[in-house]
Structure 1
Amino acid sequence: MPAFTPAVPPCTAEMITLSTDTADGDFDGMSHAGIYLVLTNKSGKACTLPGQPTVALKDARGLALPTARKGPVGMHPGPVVVPVRLEPGASARASLRWVSGDVYDNGRCVDASKVELRFGAQVVTTGFSAHLCGESGKPVEFEQSPLTRGG
């Protein structure tokens, strides 16, 4: 018989810090860039985060940029992503990747100064600098991995 595990409450914004990690340029390549988003539990209690928080990129004035998460190819609506449990002091991370060069015919580019993560009604934000490019007339797309413990 499995041991009883009490329910672990959802994390609140007050419990979490958001930071970025460039992985020493591991994401940077020919017209591509990326970062890790690192969420750390700064509280003294365990909590859970959804495995795929909603990401919004903002400009220097704090206005939302016309960007969108690119869904996984061939998976509609996508894989089931389980919540991540964070113990006190533990971290989880997700990668963001995007096209950083103006490689599209009639493309457009945007400059992000902040990244915002939403999980339920909770919001955490941190500053970062990114140049993202995409097709004209569509939101500029980025890829986002599910959260994984560690980082």
Structure 2
Amino acid sequence: MTTLHASGATRSAVDIELSYHDCVMYFGHGQSSSLGSPGNPLIDLKNEHDVQKILVAIACHAGAVLGAQRFSRHYSPPRAFLGFNNFLGHPVRSPSRANDAYVQALNDLLAGATLRDVARNLNDNLLQAAKDYLMNRNRYRLAGGDAMIIVLSLHASLFALVCLGDTGATL
């Protein structure tokens, strides 16, 4: 396992590491055809072919082009993509029940679950997180309106969640 974050997450560092790992888990900003900040992509249409097996992108929009075009069943060998094809709503709270939802689902992937099952679990976990924010808003120090915005944001994220390509892929 290699962890790249902050100033260590550069395009050159990512390019070096992509071919050595079956799975890439990315958490950050995304655009329809890339992962990384605008104008400074870490993974895009020029280097995505080096992703060996699975790309998990917890980022906005990347499922729209990067995931949909480059991780379809038509590529050989088949690869898989889990991410979002539109905006990803994520509350900035501590503790963050939404973070727990991602961690629970991705732990399943590390434990051998199929990407399809990880997507289902993430869907269920985000729904439960939304319910938790609404029902326990005092725990999260949320006003009623803030809790509703978080719930709506998480529900919108569920509509954007996509699992593409070889959805039966495992680690």
TM-score by length of 1: 0.30
Which one scores higher on RCO, CA 8 angstroms, separation ≥ 6?
1
Higher helix share: 2
Higher strand share: 1
